[in-house]
Amino acid sequence: MSEMARIEAEQRGTLSFLRVRGEIDISNDEQVLKTMEAAIPNDTTRIVVDLTETTYLDSAGLALLLRLAERLQNRRQRMSLVVPTGSPVRSVLELTGLPRWISMYDGLDDSLAEGEA
Amino acid sequence: LVERNVTPLWPPTGIAVAAFLIWGRFVWPGVALAALAVNLPISTNFLAAAATAVGNTLAPLVAATLLARVGFHRQMDRLRDAMAIVFLGALASMLISASVGAWTLVLSGSIPARMFPAAWAVWWTGDAMGVLVVTPVLLTLWRPRSGGSTSRRLEAIALFVLLTVLSLWVMNTRLQLMFLVVPFLGWAAWRFQQRGAAPAALLVAGIASWSAAHGMGTFRTGTLFEKMVTLQAFNATVAFSSSVFAALVSERARDREALETSAAELEARVQRRTSELSAANEQLHRDIVERIETSRKLRQQETALAEAQQVGQIGSWEWLIPENRVVWSDEMYRIHGYRPQEFPLTFERAVELVVEEDLARIRTNMEVALGSGRDMDLPSIEYRIVRPDGEERRLLGVARLRVGADGAPVRMVGTVQDVTEERKAEREHRIAETLQRSFLPDRLPEIPGVALAARYVPASSDMEVGGDWYDVIPLPSGQIGLAIGDVAGHGLRAASTMGQLRMALRAYAFEEGSPTRVVARVRHLVRQSPAPEMATLIYLLYDPESGIIRFANAGHPPPLIVSEAAGAAYLEGALSPPLGTLADPGGIIEVTRELPFGSTLLLYTDGLVEHRGSSIRDGLDRLKAMAAQAPKDPESLCDHLLSSMVGDQGADDIALLVVKPEPLAGAPLRLLLPAEPSVLAPLRQTVRRWLREIGAPPGVANEILVACGEACANVIQHAYGGREGVLDVELSVLDGTVEVIVRDEGSWRPSVGTDRGRGQQLMGGFMDTVSVETNRHGSSVRMRRRVGSGAHR
């Protein structure tokens, strides 16, 4: 696992499911963004980004998520995050108030339930 | 016969002559007395006797004197001796006594004056006969007899008896047979020389005289004068003949003896000369053999020299300066691309193939030497020639100048070695070595918490450059890739193959997460090459944070783990065939182990464990034993293993890589890194470990990590404006509070935009205090965070 971050994409109907493994910093943020964008088809209406296995994320990662969310917003696509309590990145997201712009759930199930709601 | 005063044979005169000859002239008084005594009774008076005695003394004295003057030999062994006694001793000298005596007879009145001639003649012949007949007998008998053999004595006795009988008979017969004694005289002279001839003559003469005096036989008839003449003639003949004949025989015998002696001498000399000659001949033969042997050896040496020259591609030459003649050895011709001794040479011809600029250097050297006026060695020179077929060769020449007594150059000798191949090989070797060195890491990366040491030892043989290599690759994930490999063969090809493998592995290491995949891709690459080299390889992925190692092994000797608890153990397994041999065996061949603190990982190439005369198994056992006892510090371990396992005589090259996890705990952590994004991941890896080791709770540790990461990212993105720079990170803990200081040497620019703003937000939010200090040397961000009582110190 030499790449810092790996993106695993899964399509479930109109739902795009992206799992981000590894770390995101200034060395790979743009690459990760491109990869994620490329992994999201246009006909998808909902995108769930799972950060459960993301071990490091700093301001560059935050900026990435915000930019992605903004672009998806323009495409009328809605993005949400899954960040379990106790995840290393959770405190970063909370401290910077990201959940104000991007909905954040503890788990995948919560995220999916919210979407259906 | 003449009045009894003169006799036909007067022995006393002969006796006197003999006496003078034997004892010398000083015996004359005795002779005179004896003559007087003999003459007194037969002379008319004393005066007459005295006069006669004077004559009889004077005549022998004169005879002896004359004989002495002519070098008379008493043994009468020469013809001249016989002649001398006849003519000087007898006939000449006795004129004196005859004259004196005859005159005395006339004057004393013993005979009438008319009788004088007859008396004189008888006297003369008598005295002469006395000398002729008696003197030789006395002279020869005087000498002590040499002991003749019995047969010779018998012969002598027989001879004399026969001669006596015969003489008596011939004298007393009427027949004129006196000549019959001649053969007997000859016999005596022939067989006994003077010793026989003189007595025989005396005997015959005595008998003849006696017969004549008594008028017997032959002398019965005739007048006194006739008888006298006959007798004297006979006696003279007998005496003369026997004496001369004997002398002749003696002389002949002596000549023969001398001849024999000289012949013997000659023969001795010839023999001596012959033996000298044969000795000389032998010496000559030895010399020739020796010379042949020497020349054979010389030829052998020449052959050996020629062979040696050919093998060593060394030619020799000689320049005879006064006549400008150059002599080349066969190999010189070959080096220059000619057939041996193809043509004679001058200096100009000898250097015509030399490249112009090199020839100028050669000429300069030679001019200096030739002008020096003394013997000297020229500096060795390397130069190029272009052979007639256009091939360029590099030659190394040395030369020596010899000058004459006057300092004028006489000759120059030298050797030339074809060093073309050598230079080519040297060049290749240099390139290969440079390549090899360039492919090995200049220095190992500094990874906090991981002690690394590595060695590369070239093979002891100068010309061989091996294909051993190693690499340490800090990966973005914070893991460390460790590689060690060995390309079969030596030299340029092996070195370049090794370089390719290393680069490929580096690339794959960044792309692939699994050692098996990395090795599989390298294997694939090797198989793609037109001429696959065989190579062994271990790729090992080490995660310093967890201490987990994963590795795959393509035919390489197994890594060794030395741990304090369990001793030394090889990391067996995960083995696939060497690269370049078989297709990818497929499947995941990978082993995962833990490398705990206090243990050491050792990667090496076969040069360390393979030794002539012992199996690789023995080498592995030995390495295990050595490593278990060796010092644990990686650098010392390397040195210890190389010296104890290899010594000075490593036939193969050796690569050695030692990895040892070290605790970071407690001590301040200082990292100096290039200010670029790729360092961030490994940096985080180290900081995480450090924080864990100081006992920071995971949540707190993560927040400190993010704050630190933000400060570092800020430096990387803004401090140097795109130029290279240093990122200086320091972490320390004091009284439960962690202090993080991030420094740069650039110009701090306040961040603009939301991203940076968020970064400062994170730093301020996660840390208890954040302060920024900026001066003309750069900026530093100092942050503190209390980690609680659980933290060390």
Contact at CB, A22 and B705, closer than 8 angstroms? no
Q: Please, what is the Cα angle at A22 between A16 and A27, to 5 degrees?
A: 105
B150 or B472: whose pLDDT is higher?
B472
Name chain A contacts of B686, Cβ cutoff 8 Å.
Answer: none
Q: What's the Rg (C-alpha) of chain B?
A: 71
pLDDT digits (tens, 9 = 90+) for B366-395: 888 888 888 888 888 999 999 999 999 999
Tokens of B460: 């002891």
Mean pLDDT for A22-41 is 92
Of A50-54, B308-312, B370-374, B649-653, the poorest mean pLDDT is in B649-653
- At residue B648 the predicted structure's pLDDT band, cuts being 50, 70 and 90, is low
In terms of CA atoms, which chain B residue is nearest residue A1?
B513
Calculate how close chain B gets to A32, using CA atoms only, in Å.
Answer: 14
Q: What is the pLDDT of residue B17?
A: 85
Question: Best interface-test mutation with B: which of A4, A6, A25 has the largest number of B CBs within 10 A?
Answer: A25
Question: Best interface-test mutation with A: which of B755, B756, B761, B770 has the largest number of A CBs within 10 A?
Answer: B755
pLDDT digits (tens, 9 = 90+) for B325-335: 999 988 899 89
Name chain B contacts of A56, Cβ cutoff 8 Å.
Answer: 684, 705-706, 709
**Would the pTM of this model clear 0.90, i.e. be above it?**
no
Q: Please, what is the Cα angle at B352 between B350 and B358, to 5 degrees?
A: 105
Q: Out of A4, A25, A57, name the one closest to residue B477 (CB).
A: A4
pLDDT digits (tens, 9 = 90+) for B717-776: 888 887 888 999 999 988 889 999 999 988 756 555 555 678 888 999 999 999 998 888
- Is the pLDDT reported for residue A112 higher than 80? no
Contact at CB, B513 and A3, closer than 8 angstroms? yes
Question: Best interface-test mutation with A: which of B592, B680, B708, B727 has the largest number of A CBs within 10 A?
Answer: B680
Contact at CB, B710 and A2, closer than 8 angstroms? no
Q: What is the pLDDT of residue A114?
A: 61
Tell the residue number behind the tokens 């060769």, with chain if given: B393
- B461 in helix, strand or coil? coil
- Is the pLDDT reported for residue B710 higher than 90? yes
Single-letter residue type at A81:
L
In terms of CA atoms, which chain A residue is nearest residue B757?
A59
- Is the pLDDT reported for residue B61 higher than 50? yes
Calculate how close chain A gets to B477, using CA atoms only, in Å.
Answer: 5
Name chain B contacts of A25, Cβ cutoff 8 Å.
Answer: 677, 680-681, 709, 713
Contact at CB, B680 and A26, closer than 8 angstroms? yes
Name chain B contacts of A86, Cβ cutoff 8 Å.
Answer: 699
Name chain A contacts of B691, Cβ cutoff 8 Å.
Answer: none
Cβ neighbours, 10 Å, residue A98: 20
In terms of CA atoms, which chain B residue is nearest residue A63?
B755
The proportion of chain B whose per-residue pLDDT surpasses 90, expressed as a percent, equals 17
- Strands B600-604 and B778-786: what pairing? unpaired
Long-range contacts at B354-358 (CB < 8 A, ≥ 24 apart) = B354/B383, B354/B384, B354/B385, B355/B383, B355/B384, B355/B385, B355/B386, B355/B392, B358/B383, B358/B384
Q: Three-state SS across chain A?
A: CCCCEEEEEEEECCEEEEEEEEEECCCCHHHHHHHHHHCCCCCCCEEEEECCCEEEECHHHHHHHHHHHHHHHHCCCEEEEECCCCCCCHHHHHHCCHHHCCEEECCHHHHHHHHHC
The proportion of chain B whose per-residue pLDDT surpasses 70, expressed as a percent, equals 94
Highest mean pLDDT pick, B40-44, B519-523, B628-632: B519-523
Name chain A contacts of B680, Cβ cutoff 8 Å.
Answer: 25-27
Calculate how close chain B gets to A90, using CA atoms only, in Å.
Answer: 10
Contact at CB, B762 and A86, closer than 8 angstroms? no
- Is the pLDDT reported for residue B260 higher than 80? yes
ipTM score for this prediction: 0.92
Taking the CA atoms of B671, B672, B678 and B680 in sequence, report the sign of the dihedral they define.
positive
Q: Out of B479, B511, B717, name the one closest to residue A26 (CB).
A: B717
- What b-and-e string marks burial along B178-202, b requiring 16 or more CB atoms within 10 Å of the CB? beebeebbbbbbbbbbbbbbbbbbb
- Angle of helix B150-172 relative to helix B181-213, nearest 10 degrees, comes to 50
pLDDT digits (tens, 9 = 90+) for B4-15: 445 667 788 888
Q: What is the pLDDT of residue B461?
A: 59
B355, B361, B364, B368: CA torsion to nearest 10 = -130
- At residue B70 the predicted structure's pLDDT band, cuts being 50, 70 and 90, is confident
In terms of CA atoms, which chain B residue is nearest residue A88?
B702
Contact at CB, B706 and A96, closer than 8 angstroms? no
Contact at CB, A26 and B713, closer than 8 angstroms? yes
- Is the pLDDT reported for residue B706 higher than 90? yes
Mean pLDDT for A55-68 is 92
Name chain A contacts of B710, Cβ cutoff 8 Å.
Answer: 58-59
In terms of CA atoms, which chain B residue is nearest residue A24?
B681
pLDDT digits (tens, 9 = 90+) for B409-460: 999 999 898 888 888 887 877 777 777 777 777 788 888 788 899 988 877 6
Q: Which residues of A touch B (CB under 8 A)?
A: 1-4, 22-23, 25-28, 56-60, 62-63, 86, 88, 91-92, 95-96
pLDDT digits (tens, 9 = 90+) for B530-573: 777 788 999 999 988 888 999 999 989 999 999 887 788 898 88
Across chain B, mean pLDDT equals: 83
What is the spatial order of strands in the sheet that B737-744 belongs to?
A: B669-674, B726-734, B737-744, B778-786, B769-775
Contact at CB, A60 and B509, closer than 8 angstroms? no
B232, B235, B237, B242: CA torsion to nearest 10 = -160
Tell the residue number behind the tokens 């108030």, with chain if given: A97
Mean pLDDT for A101-115 is 78
B605 or B458: whose pLDDT is higher?
B605
In terms of CA atoms, which chain B residue is nearest residue A91?
B703
Q: Out of A56, A88, A92, name the one closest to residue B762 (CB).
A: A92
Q: Out of A2, A27, A59, name the one closest to residue B680 (CB).
A: A27
Mean pLDDT for B352-368 is 90
From residue B166, alpha-carbon distances to B129, B179, B238, B536, B567 in Å are 21, 11, 14, 142, 149
Contact at CB, A96 and B758, closer than 8 angstroms? yes
Tell me which residue of B329, B320, B367 sits closest to B347, measured CA to CA: B320
Contact at CB, B755 and A60, closer than 8 angstroms? yes
Question: Best interface-test mutation with A: which of B705, B706, B720 has the largest number of A CBs within 10 A?
Answer: B706
